[in-house]
Amino acid sequence: MQKLKPLSRVLVLHSDFCLLTSTAIPSAILSTMDAITLTRQLVDIESISGNEAAVGNYLYGELTRIGYQTRRMPVEGDRFNLYATSPEQPNPEIVFSTHMDTVPPFIASSEDAVRIYGRGSCDAKGIIAAQIAASERLRREQLYVGLLFVVGEERDSLGARVANEYAAAQQAHACKYLINGEPTENRIALASKGTLRVEVTASGRMAHSAYPELGESAIDKLLDTLTRLRAMPLPTDPEIGPCTLNIGLIEGGRAPNVIPDYAHADLLYRLIAPSQDLRRQILETAGDQVKIEFPLELPFLRLRTVDGLPTMIASFTTDIPKLTNWGEALLIGPGSIHVAHTDGEFIDKQQLAEAVDLYCTIAKTLL
């Protein structure tokens, strides 16, 4: 049984994930659409990437209970996306979307007068709560949007890829706009930097460390290559900012007294333009003593905006490049990316409330 731990009482999910409560404390969705309470309930369901089934089942049960046509979209194993629409408009022109998964480790919720804390509070369970609240408000005004909550955004965007295939297969799919939620402090993104992942692998020959001349150090080759790559000039844009490099992982060697025959590094570039020139520059700078592979790229994107809203440049990537069949994309959400993925992750309650208003305003503008 999956247990939820809201503000004042434990709520227990039955095996079919319909909410069972005492009569004293109704569900946050069922009663006042309290986005603060819902955020805490979602945070308290651990959903690290690969383990999203429990939070997906909770949302499925609650959205179905309040009248949405809610579909589980199988992804992998017991993992699934959720797509919820109103019976009055099963093929909406606008869909609110974000992700259900979080990075590790799990951190339970807490709050003070101004903030909600915990893993996923801003990235992106508070955003889920704000989008559901906005959808409910619009529904009362007879304006209907869809809700798309996906898995795997923090790892490989697998849920987004499956959702894109789903949209392509639906003949009645009529979505024109995707309002994607990520922590942008309620500013609408003009653009989102892309991602280019680079794997650098060096090979050598083992030998006793007392006789280095008999071996060939893969680590020395890797270090020389990384030094050149770090010194390589990267492009910049006066509006978007610089392309940046992070050397995120280095591994190699056998033991301190063994000349290493293997070394590997994972690099991540944040893109501000198409990657062809950068790829060529990386290969030329790295030289022929290492093997270079490019296992992942998410492109740099310029995004649709809405007049009158404060703007920002998202230096991070999102699921948007994998959701091309869901219409023209906008990117906005409460919370700061600067605290996402930290042990002190939080979302301001005031920003959460403002996000509900913003999502409604943007939807009305687009409709």
237: which residues sit within 8 A by CB, 6+ positions away? 272, 273
Residue length of the chain: 367
- Helix, strand, coil % (nearest 5) of the chain? 30, 30, 40
Say how far apart CA 77 and CA 73 lie, in whole Å.
12
Please name which of 29, 96, 82, 90 lies closest in space to residue 363, comparing C-alpha atoms: 96
Strands 177-180 and 301-302: unpaired
301 within 8 A of 159, measured Cβ to Cβ = no
245 within 8 A of 294, measured Cβ to Cβ = no
Please name which of 51, 47, 60 lies closest in space to residue 19, comparing C-alpha atoms: 60
Please name which of 56, 301, 41, 269 lies closest in space to residue 180, comparing C-alpha atoms: 301
Residue carrying the six token digits 């179905």: 64
Query: Which residues participate in catalysis according to the annotation?
Result: 153
Contacts 24+ apart (CB under 8 A), 343-346: 343/107, 344/117, 345/107, 345/117, 345/118, 345/119, 345/120, 345/121, 345/122, 345/123, 346/115, 346/116, 346/117, 346/118, 346/121, 346/122
